[in-house]
Structure 1
Amino acid sequence: MATIDRKPILLDFEKPLADLEARIVQIRELAEENDVDVSDEIRQLEARAVQLRQEIFSGLSPTQQLQVARHPRRPSTLDYIQAISDEWMELHGDRGGFDDPAVVGGVARLAGRPVVMLGQQKGRDTKDNITRNFGMASPGGYRKAIRLMEHADRFGMPIMTFIDTPGAYPGLEAEKLGQGEAIAYNLREMFRLSVPMICVIIGEAGSGGALGIGVGDRLLMFEHSVYYVASPEACASILWRDASKAHQAAEALKITAPDLKQLGIIDEILPEPVGAAHADPLKTTEILKEALLRHLNELDQMTSQQRRDLRYQKFRAIGVFSEHPL
């Protein structure tokens, strides 16, 4: 994975845990300085820290889940690709004159098998985020993505996409270059591809920006990721003309993994280590790799037509509901 500054970045609800861990360090240092045995007390406090971490991350509100999904230390698309693949060669350009850095992709080997991996890429700091446009792709990014998918289909390589974007870039220039058309084209073409396709929501998945690389045979979602039609802040601004009501919007939008699993939108929730993916990226990577290989093995048992039919029926079923008389 990329080398990054590991200085802790604390979310508001993590502060009690950080205070307890700092207290443990302080007591240990004082005990060493004064040659006092406080091992029993340290064990009790460490056990309490483990319990507190579990309590915090097992009861997050949708707004807190959104904070975790946006955590600057959360593993990114490139982190996962480089960690799970045996070989990786990034490919550039949409063959139309653009190479959007907000979308990365290329050819890799997963457990020795050639595959194509791609996804949105956020930055690690302000400068990198500006370069990557905060993971918000332009039309060129979506055209690059479908070029790589068509390459995979032509050579019989499975496709794996990693979704992590607040949405497609909404700027005037993007609209001039055909943002809506680029996403719509991707949606249509992804339904006709013959190879196995697995999509994974690794952070936040916003609106058409996520859908533009999110039509697959299987849609997996990390436990603390979110998926929404509009960000809670945007939704609150539209409905109440007040962005401070984003927490209400987050509750109503059903953006969390359990909500989306219940609605039949995602196929599997991938568990994260206690403390979320940013607390233990290596363990998170192991979880992801196991899930990808397992689903790929299942999809390999199907014919191309069966996979296309499955993909079509999966998305046709989204939003279907029944009314029962009172």
Structure 2
Amino acid sequence: MPTFLDFEKPIAELQGRIDELRETGAEGGVDILSEVTKLQAKSDKLLKDTFAKLTPWQKTQVARHPERPHFKDYVAGLFTEFLPLAGDRAFGDDQAILGGFAMFRGRRVLVMGHEKGDDTTSRLRHNFGMGKPEGYRKAVRLMALADRFALPIVTLVDTSGAFPGLQAEERGQAEAIARSTEACLAAGVPLVSAVVGEGGSGGAIALASGNRVLMFEHAVYSVISPEGCASILWRTSDKAPEAAEAMKITAQDLKALGVIDTIVTEPLGGAHRNPAAAISALGDAIERALDDLTQLTAEALRRDRREKFLAMGRVLS
């Protein structure tokens, strides 16, 4: 059973009653099938109705759900022959950003992305998916390799933002993010990016400046977290729900604004409820995007990215 979020309490209560009935029936030999079926139908309808009208803040909570698939899950579910590549050849290896060569449905590609970790030990090892300068410099190195060997690039974005610590600033965090963004825009091979959870600030755009930007329907993508925005505007993070509404951070808003290209449908209740289905859906979307881009020349790919990003923010009179 998934971990329920605050706004899912009515669903959690129904599911709890269902579990109690099943346990009672198993212990006492009582036939409770009819009642369980009725309650399960009610629970399914409530889940569907709830997720049909999520607020931006609720989507943020879903995007941050600890049980959502992570980079390693997508690699295991979509890619074969994954060969991880480490280090930036300047300082060290950042475990928040992982990448390497792999096979994707008959194509040799370079895949990289943020890894948040799924337990306390791995989250600390991967720094909760918050990349350091050496992580973004590793990304630049890997994109250069992909360019050299004419391999399409697939990036999976899931970070609350680049690491904001003193050490990262001392090692040139802003410059590293800018170089990684530049490398995305300059690549002469197809680059497909997918926001699979949180797309936070420069830490996200450094890997998401692609020809095609995909986004899960309950993912979020923004220049700052709702809490950070609220702290700046209202001097309190309690206003995060209002900030999330104003910032237009949902896939639906960003598709309408032309920031992303494709919304990938998630299983009912979010990707964490059926990771295999979510991973498969993302794979299909990535495959379609690569099919569209494969025939373009290097110059056409660069021009496509340039036109795409220059068009963002334009207002038609």
TM-score w.r.t. the length of structure 1 is 0.94
The alignment status of 1:59 with 2:43, answered yes or no, reads: no
Of 201, 205, 228, the match for 1:207: 201
Q: Is the deviation greater in 119-128 or in 153-162?
A: 119-128
Please show how residues 1-326 of structure 1 align to structure 2 within 5 Å. Answer: 8-323=2-317
* Alpha-carbon distance in structure 1 between the residues aligned to 2:185 and 2:142: 15
Q: CA deviation at 1:36?
A: 3.6
Q: Any idea what the Cα deviations from partners look like across 1:94-139, whole Å, max 9, x if unmatched?
A: 1113100110000100012210000111021233222211111111
Taking only aligned residues, the RMSD between alpha carbons, in angstroms, comes to 1.3
- Deviation per residue, 1:277-304 (Å, 9 max, x gap): 0000000111011111111111113222
Instruction: Measure the CA separation in 2 of the matches of 1:194 and 1:285.
Output: 27
Identity of aligned residues (%): 49
- Report the 3-state secondary structure (helix = DSSP H, G, I; strand = E; otherwise coil) of the residue aligned with 1:88: strand
| 1:34 positional shift | 4.0
Contact 1:86–1:112 (8 Å) recurs in 2: no
Unaligned residue ranges in structure 2 (runs of 5+): none
Instruction: Find the aligned partners of 1:235 and 1:195 in 2 and give their Cα distance.
Output: 35
User: What is the count of residue pairs matched by the alignment?
Assistant: 317
Deviation, structure 1 residue 30 = 2.6
Distance of aligned partners of 1:236 and 1:280 in 2 relative to their CA distance in 1, 3 Å threshold: same
Of 22-31 and 45-54, the range deviating more from structure 2: 22-31
TM-score normalised by L of structure 2? 0.96
Secondary structure of the corresponding residue to residue 115 of structure 1: strand
Distance in 1 (CA, whole Å) between partners of 2:119 and 2:184 is 32
The answer to whether the Cα contact below 8 Å between 2:2 and 2:273 also exists between their aligned partners in 1 is no
Deviations 1:245-280 (A, max 9, x none): 111111100111000001000000000000100000
Instruction: Give yes or no for contact 1:273–1:284 (8 Å, CA) kept in 2.
Output: yes
- Structure 1 contact 159–197 (Cα < 8 Å) conserved: yes
- Asked if the contact 1:106/1:118 (under 8 Å) is kept, the reply is yes
Stretches of structure 1 lacking an aligned partner (at least 5 in a row):
1-6
* CA deviation profile, 1:21-73 (whole Å, cap 9, x unmatched): 22122223333444443333222221111111111111111111111111111
Query: SS in structure 2 opposite 1:200?
Result: strand
Per-residue CA deviation, residues 132-159 of structure 1 (Å, 9 max, x unaligned), is 1111111100000111111011001100
Alignment-mate amino acid for residue 290 of structure 1? D
Mapped to 1, the partners of 2:29 and 2:207 lie a distance apart of 59
2:110 corresponds to which letter in structure 1?
A: V
Distance in 2 (CA, whole Å) between partners of 1:41 and 1:99 is: 55
